[in-house]
Chain A
Amino acid sequence: KAGVTQTPRYLIKTRGQQVTLSCSPISGHRSVSWYQQTPGQGLQFLFEYFSETQRNKGNFPGRFSGRQFSNSRSEMNVSTLELGDSALYLCASSPWTLYRGAYEQYFGPGTRLTVT
């Protein structure tokens, strides 16, 4: 089985622009979660999508949004980019929405976003 894939792998954007990142989960997985990783804050949860619905959201401003398609592929969008948005954005997939650690969660290679 192919793993979680993310595109693009690297991205350089200018402040004020917007960006869309894409994630394809493992075949058969229905839950996709997004995380932001920075040296200062570590790994932080952005949101989770399951069956095209946002199930959970982390403490991020409304500039961060996402969606999930009927084939479980997901995209996240960041509008009005700020320098502080520079980070590694990781997507993770699970067979089902996790409840108290019921399922394994696999991560993709990440998209490195640099905002200048």
Chain B
Amino acid sequence: SQELEQSPQSLIVQEGKNLTINCTSSKTLYGLYWYKQKYGEGLIFLMMLQKGGEEKSHEKITAKLDEKKQQSSLHITASQPSHAGIYLCGAGVGSGSRLTFGEGTQLTVNP
């Protein structure tokens, strides 16, 4: 099965700071998904990357996919308290709607 490793496991930043979360796969990446979760709640879809070199942005969040490195990064610019939560990366496993997820990165943004 595909294993995804996220780093860091937790991150505490001051409001206004930029930050990056990484997601590395031990196998070839086929579709990389980023989600945000508030504790105990459902996952909010952020973005999906399919091709190497692809980069997508939504508001102050940018995600990139590096197929060669089998890695994706999520970058938040000028962080705000509303960005706080758990960020999860997921990747497709073969056929079917089966995603394998990393363990998540807990982000705290202090005002």
Contacts and interface: CB of A to CB of B under 8 A. Distances in A.
Given A107-B35, A109-B42, A48 B96 contact: yes
Interface of B: 30-33, 35, 40-45, 48, 50, 88, 90-92, 94-101, 103-104
B97 A107 contact: no
Given A90-B43, A94-B97, A105-B45, 7 more contacts: A43-B101, A48-B97, A98-B95, A101-B50, A101-B92, A105-B99, A108-B42
A107 B90 CA distance: 12
A101 to B, nearest CB: 1
B94 A55 contact: no
B98 A33 contact: yes
Q: Mostly helix, strand, loop or mixed at chain A's interface?
A: strand
A55 B96 CA distance: 7
Interface string A77-116: 0000000000010101010011111111111111010000
Nearest to A92: B97
A57 to B, nearest CB: 9
18 contacts: A4-B42, A6-B42, A33-B98, A42-B103, A42-B104, A55-B95, A58-B98, A88-B40, A98-B96, A98-B98, A100-B31, A100-B92, A100-B95, A101-B30, A101-B50, A102-B92, A104-B33, A110-B40
Contacts of A97: 95-97
Most buried by A among B30, B41, B45, B98: B98
A48 B92 contact: no
A71 interface: no
Interface residues of A, number: 32
Contacts of B48: 101, 104
A106 B36 CA distance: 11
Given A90-B43, A108-B42, A102 B31 contact: yes
Most buried by A among B40, B92, B96, B99: B96
Contacts of A104: 33, 45, 48
B94 A100 contact: yes
